[in-house]
A and B are shown apart, each in its own frame.
Chain A
């Protein structure tokens, strides 16, 4: 079974630009969650999508948005990039059953650098 894939793996942008990151979950998984990981803050939850609907949302500004397609693939968009947006963006998929032990499987992440 193929794991979670994320594209691109590395990205360099300049301030003010926008960026779109892509995530393909494990086949059969309907939930996709996005996280931002930085050395100082650790893993910060951005949002979760289940069956094309945003089910949970973290404390990030509206510049961060996402969507999920009917095949469960998800995209995340960041507009008007700031230097502080430089981070590793991780995508995690799960069955989405809602059980507390619904295990999340992570992709390798997209390393975003904002200059």
Chain B
């Protein structure tokens, strides 16, 4: 079993819909949780990070962490075709190394 599980998709939704992307993890030592976005033919770029449990909002994006269930989520409101990309979750514990999910391919249909 991988330390960080993420459904690879693809997830296809109509423009304007609310998108929910999720990851589960197994290591309770993880403290920092990140979401990266990767467009085709590009490297990943950091979208958001959260520490411990709770929510963090940035524009149309909300990151949520539930440490009790080891579940992390990224919500995208009013989704746009430009949001079409692969979204990767990553977890970091005290040893500094990032552990990555497989990435979910998101397609926003106009």
Contact = CB atoms under 8 A, between A and B. Distances in A.
A109 B43 contact: yes
A61 interface: no
A42 B42 contact: no
Contacts, number: 51
A70 interface: no
Interface string B80-96: 00000000101010101
B1 interface: no
A103 B43 contact: no
A84 interface: no
Interface residues of A, number: 24
A43 B100 CA distance: 6
A90 interface: yes
B75 interface: no
A64 interface: no
Interface in A49-68: 56
Given A42-B100, A100-B92, 10 more contacts: A42-B101, A43-B103, A90-B43, A92-B43, A100-B31, A105-B45, A105-B46, A107-B43, A108-B42, A109-B42
Interface of A: 4, 35, 39-45, 48, 56, 90, 92, 98, 100-109
17 contacts: A40-B102, A41-B102, A42-B88, A42-B103, A43-B44, A43-B88, A43-B90, A45-B99, A45-B100, A90-B44, A100-B92, A100-B96, A101-B49, A104-B46, A104-B98, A105-B45, A107-B43
Interface of B: 6, 8, 31-32, 41-46, 49, 88, 90, 92, 94, 96-103
